[in-house]
Amino acid sequence: MRDYILESSQEARKNSKERYVYGDKLVYLKDQLPYNFNFNYVLDTIEGLIPKWLVENIDAIYVGKFKDLDNGSLPFNAKYKEGALYITNDQDNENDMIDDIVHEIAHAVEERFGENIYSDNDIESEFLSKRNTLCTILDQEGYDPPKDKFNDPEYNKHFDYYLYDVVGYPLLENLIIGLFYSPYAVTSINEYFANGFENYFLRDQDYLKRISPILYNKISNILEDGRQYNTELGGVK
């Protein structure tokens, strides 16, 4: 009987459109996921990776098709907006969705700790230095880089299009080795941070530390300050 109840509970959780992570964060499955997709594995992995105190300003996660994710020729997989994560249901696999969620959590962290991250301009200096190096490489390769855009750390749709469509991510991935963790990190300073945060938790921290030491230290300092603060409060995870 106990096994039956447990199995029934697991099946109900699997089929429910509503779930919760971290105890009180609503997760709403608006549209169907791919066949045999293990959504519970995704949520359990996120809870195991990211400390609860880092997601305090996130109220909900919505999964499905959303107009905000439709950006014409440059569609987004996910977005953080006004306390909620919007994640596409069109996923290659579970790890693909984990990447998307951790990346958008990074933007929520960025919103909450923005002063700590950016006020000394150290990350901006590191980011623009890398951008300028890449600009020189692209110029040498004959891709006529828009130099004014390379010196602007903010997101620009035309610059995004230049990287994605004119240069192309397959080539860009080779050109950025030792500069950026991935092509999307080149897009803006915000994506530079979020991409670094994502790879800090999901991939090779040593490589991130080697190529982006200032970014790595900013993330480490946020985590260390948070651990100390929560220890003083009584050990909140």
- The pLDDT tens digits of the residues spanning 28-82 come to 999 999 999 999 999 999 999 999 999 999 999 999 999 888 765 566 889 999 9
Asked if residue 131 and residue 73 are part of one domain, the reply reads no
Burial of 202 (0-12, 13-18, 19+ CB in 10 A): middle
The CATH number of whichever domain residue 45 belongs to comes to 3.30.2010
Final residue belonging to a domain, choices 82, 112, 142: 112
- The pLDDT tens digits of the residues spanning 83-96 come to 999 999 999 999 99
CA distance 20 to 73: 33
Residue 121 has pLDDT above 50, yes or no: yes
Final residue belonging to a domain, choices 62, 84, 112: 112
Residue 69, pLDDT score: 83
Asked if residue 139 and residue 82 are part of one domain, the reply reads no
Q: Chain centroid to CA 199: how far?
A: 8
Residue 159 has pLDDT above 60, yes or no: yes
CA distance 136 to 153: 17
- Segment 129-149 shows an average pLDDT of 96
Residue 226, pLDDT score: 78
Host domain of residue 169 = 116-233
Residue 163 has pLDDT above 70, yes or no: yes
Final residue belonging to a domain, choices 112, 135, 161: 112
Give 234's pLDDT tier (boundaries 50, 70, 90).
Answer: low
Asked if residue 139 and residue 219 are part of one domain, the reply reads yes
β-bridge partners, 18: 28
**Two structure tokens written together for 90:** 């069109």
Dihedrals φ, ψ of 71, to 5°?
-120, 40
- H or E segment and range at residue 21: strand 18-21
Asked if residue 84 and residue 183 are part of one domain, the reply reads no
Residue 98, pLDDT score: 97
Task: Report long-range pairs for 131-137 (Cβ below 8 Å, ≥24 apart).
Answer: 131/186, 133/179, 134/175, 134/176, 134/179, 134/180, 134/186, 137/175
Q: What is the pTM of this model?
A: 0.88
Asked if residue 132 and residue 228 are part of one domain, the reply reads yes
Asked if residue 85 and residue 124 are part of one domain, the reply reads no
8 A C-beta contact, residue 143 and residue 153: no
DSSP alpha helix (H) spans, the chain: 2-15, 39-49, 94-112, 114-118, 122-141, 147-150, 157-161, 169-175, 189-202, 205-211, 213-233
- What percentage of residues in the chain have a pLDDT greater than 90? 83
8 A C-beta contact, residue 87 and residue 77: yes
User: What's the total number of domains in the chain?
Assistant: 2
- What percentage of residues in the chain have a pLDDT greater than 70? 87
Asked if residue 166 and residue 192 are part of one domain, the reply reads yes
Number of neighbouring beta carbons within 10 Å of residue 85: 24
